[in-house]
Amino acid sequence: INQYIGVGKGQNTVEQYVEYVKNDLMGVARDDLVYNIARHVDGTVHLFEKWGLPIWKTDDGEYVNEGRWQIMINGESYKVIVAEAAKNALGMDNIYERVFVIEPLLDGDRIAGAVGFSVRENKFYVFKAKAVLAAMGGAVGVFKPRSTGEGLGRSWYPPFSTGSSAYFTIRAGAEMTCQEIRFIPVRFKDAYGPVGAWFLLFKSRATNAFGGEYMVERRDELQNWAPYGLVKPIPANLRNYLGMLDVSEGKGPIYMRTEEAIAKLADAYKDDPKAFKKKMKELEAEAWEDFLDMTISQALLWAATNTAPEEKSSEIAAAEPYFIGSHSGGSGAWVSGPEDIAPPEYFWGYANMTTVKGLFAAGDASGASSHKFSSGSQSEGRIAAKAAIKFIVENNTQPNVDMAKVEELKALTYKPLETYEANKDFTTDPEVNPAYIKPKMFMFRLQKLMDEYVGGVSANFTTNKPMLDRALELLEFMKEDAEKLAAADLHELMRCWENIHRMWQAEAQVR
């Protein structure tokens, strides 16, 4: 768990966490939102433990810290445990599963609900609501991923997060923020295994292919980014930038020196061969367990490439960009702060309400409040949900839903199915047709555009104004092509709408 303050034990203060977040985002964060989440997050983690999440403990019964703000868990059932609590609170009668929500419903300047379709049955859903909480994740697959071909779909962030939060809030008319921020995590290459445990627990170094430690050799570069380049810990984007400079100069690949880190940890036992051998086995097991717990594909890649972490280094690399308001990103909706600490211009009645009345946002959906991670996002969800209930109590009228608009949205929703049926027999292969485009090809087109013009992996994360102007020009063609999206079934219909959502997130970033 990446956000735990430890206020009750006097480990840290909420103010210190706010300072850490502001430094890591180089000043681009809302103090009031970060503070509000941080002061509640410990209670959320305690709830997780109460619900059954195994949290590592010391012999004294204290949580085991991985870093200053991180605590160790057995996370293989994390999502199931938290989801079970939500299910029990709501009751199955109030949960609609496998419904893809596509558009908000509005009554003037107030949210009135949402529409969506079942991906399993021929059902169209109209949800009428006095308040709505958007918490539909970030966006993956907007940029061309490193993992292509047989690796397609492997990403650091969940591939089923397709920009729905941004699309929903933008379409509702909500003001957005930090759309220029995308998160580019450095992870073990190709399987996206986490690096945190190696840096923080194993105390490993990262070096270029020639053994140079870019964080040391390029230390002077940090002076150019003062005051943020001079703080500890060094902001993640600056650490990534220094590594990127090495790659640009032809010093790649970048390696995590796992064999060196394991050897150093075992070195304390070198005078006792039996104890040394035992310690090496323990460290080797921990190295594999770290991935088997969290990123099994990384363990598979190690096995497939005959990589023993105690014997040889492993490549690390910057992943393709993601849009995520909860990790080290910041993109999302501009929301109201809490009444007791937000400045007047940041407060408009209800915590975490967007600029659209009755529409609330949390997690990846809310912007300028980075470093929430899973525990902070759940805390923010609790904050937003309670504020939404307060809004309903104080605005207890049912907004009007324009049924003509609903019928219009229903026709729009199922249009790709009709396009496919009307044109599928024009060619011998239904995947290739001059009258329509399938969602997979549409996604590839969008990813190529963003990768080459908007600072993706191929462009080494660099861009400029003429490139962005060209991207906007090509995005206009994408919008035209979106009118011709075709779906053979409900699953493919979902894929069509996922890519429309991605396209809107893409344009928001470019603009």
> Backbone phi, then psi, for 149, in 5-degree steps?
60, -125
CB distance 503 to 446 below 8 Å:
yes
Q: Which of 66, 320, 380, 498 is catalytic?
A: 66
Q: Which of 374, 375, 377, 379 is catalytic?
A: 374
Residue 2 annotated to the active site: yes
Helix (H, G, I), strand (E, B) or coil at 114: strand
Contacts of 429 (CB under 8 A, 6+ apart): none
Closest to 409 measured CA to CA, from 124, 85, 202: 124
Q: Which of 2, 147, 155, 165 is catalytic?
A: 2
CB distance 329 to 156 below 8 Å:
no
Q: What is the DSSP string of 349-382?
A: SSTTB-SSBTEEE-GGGB-S----HHHHHHHHHH
R_g (Cα) of the chain, nearest Å: 24
Q: ω before 233 within 30° of 0 (cis)?
A: yes
Rounded to whole angstroms, the Cα distance separating 234 from 226 reads 11
34: which DSSP letter?
H
Residue 187 annotated to the active site: yes
- 486: how many CB neighbours lie within 10 A of its CB? 26
CB distance 117 to 102 below 8 Å:
yes
CB distance 36 to 367 below 8 Å:
no
Q: Which of 40, 147, 156, 352 is catalytic?
A: 156
Residue 98 annotated to the active site: no
CB distance 489 to 118 below 8 Å:
no
Q: Which of 32, 290, 364, 498 is catalytic?
A: 290
Q: ω before 227 within 30° of 0 (cis)?
A: yes
The residue behind tokens 């990103």 is 329
- E-strand stretches of 197-238: 206-207
Q: Which of 39, 146, 182, 187 is catalytic?
A: 187
Rounded to whole angstroms, the Cα distance separating 323 from 176 reads 13
- 318: how many CB neighbours lie within 10 A of its CB? 20
- E-strand stretches of 119-236: 124-128, 132-134, 176-177, 186-188, 206-207
In which element (H, E) is residue 314 found?
A: strand 314-318
Beta-bridge partners for 332: 177
Residue 40 annotated to the active site: no
Structure tokens that stand for 343 in this block: 């400045």
Structure tokens that stand for 453 in this block: 């013009």
Rounded to whole angstroms, the Cα distance separating 74 from 279 reads 22
Residue 60 annotated to the active site: no
- 344: how many CB neighbours lie within 10 A of its CB? 7
Structure tokens that stand for 227 in this block: 């005051």
CB distance 471 to 454 below 8 Å:
yes
Q: Which of 327, 495, 501, 502 is catalytic?
A: 327
Rounded-to-10 torsion of CA 338, 369, 5, 389: 40
Q: Which residues are designated catalytic?
A: 2, 66, 156, 187, 290, 327, 374
